[in-house]
Amino acid sequence: MKIHALILTSTIAACTEPGADAPSDETEIITTVKLTFAPEDGSAPISASFRDPDGDGGMSGTTDPLALAAGMTYAMQVEFLDELGTPTENITREIEEEAEAHQVFVLGGAVAGPAATDSAAAIADHMYTDLESDYGANTGDDLPVGLINTITTRAAGTGELVIVLRHMPELNGQPQKVAGLAEQLAAGDALPGEVDANVTFDLDLTVQ
């Protein structure tokens, strides 16, 4: 299995009440990226995770194999966890709270969608299902977040599915997260902000 770099330290900005002193950033650790696929036919969900149990330590992370059925539509949920302590900290909740500064991109050779151009090797189509307003009040454009998605598989085959979480806080009072970022990534353009996580899953589609 191929493991691409996971950026383990992510910065989640703390919130303050109006008039309070500006906060310092809180450093969060992402040790686990979990994907859950709920089939549209109501059958049992399928999960696969990347785990790096010692965080930014000496041990390499591992990725579960990801086996889905060809010709099926799935609701894909993405979760980011810190499993270093007890109890496990769900970093996803903090991403939801700062939805206007985060976006998950789904790409890789196996994928066609906003962040990945269609190719002969693509075996799955990605579509965003959620918006910033699903997680709270938003200002400006109501943009996708990517914690909830739709994956529609094609014919049987294998390939790579890549999950990238990007943190894009305001810069000089201006939003860095704007419309069309996924399309810019597909075109090979550089994106603003920083990568908080980058994980590759080996996707295997079989006929059932």
Within a domain: 15: no
- Which one, of 102, 107, 100, lies nearest residue 92 by Cα? 102
Q: What confidence score (pLDDT) does residue 58 get?
A: 63
- Helix or strand or coil: residue 165? strand
What tokens does 73 get? 């539509």
Q: Does residue 136 form part of some domain?
A: yes
The C-alpha torsion from 105 through 106 and 108 to 110, rounded to 10°, is -170
pTM over 0.75: yes
Q: Note the pLDDT of residue 51.
A: 94
Query: Has residue 140 been placed in a domain?
Result: yes
Task: Flag whether 2 is in a domain.
Answer: no
Which single residue is written with the structure tokens 């910065």? 11
Structural domain count of the chain: 1
Domain assignment present for residue 7? The answer is no
Q: What does the pLDDT read at residue 12?
A: 39
Task: For residue 62, give every residue at least 6 positions away whose Cβ sits within 8 Å of its Cβ, in sequence order, or none.
Answer: 1, 3, 50, 51, 52
Say which residue the tokens 């770099």 belong to.
5
Could you tell me if residue 6 is inside a domain?
Answer: no
Residue 127 lies in a domain: yes
Is 1 a member of any domain? no
Q: Which domain holds residue 164?
A: 24-206
* Distance from C-alpha of 116 to C-alpha of 137, rounded to nearest angstrom: 29
Which are the contacts of 182, defined by CB distance < 8 A and separation ≥ 6?
103, 105, 113, 114, 115, 128, 144
The series of mean pLDDT values per 10 residues for the chain, 208 residues long, is 41 37 59 97 97 72 96 98 92 97 98 96 98 95 98 98 97 96 98 96 95
CATH code of the domain containing 198: 2.60.40
Task: Give the CA angle between residues 58, 36, 151 to the nearest 5°.
Answer: 115
Who contacts 142 (Cβ-Cβ below 8 Å, separation ≥6)? 131, 132, 133
Dist. CA 107–CA 208, nearest whole Å: 25
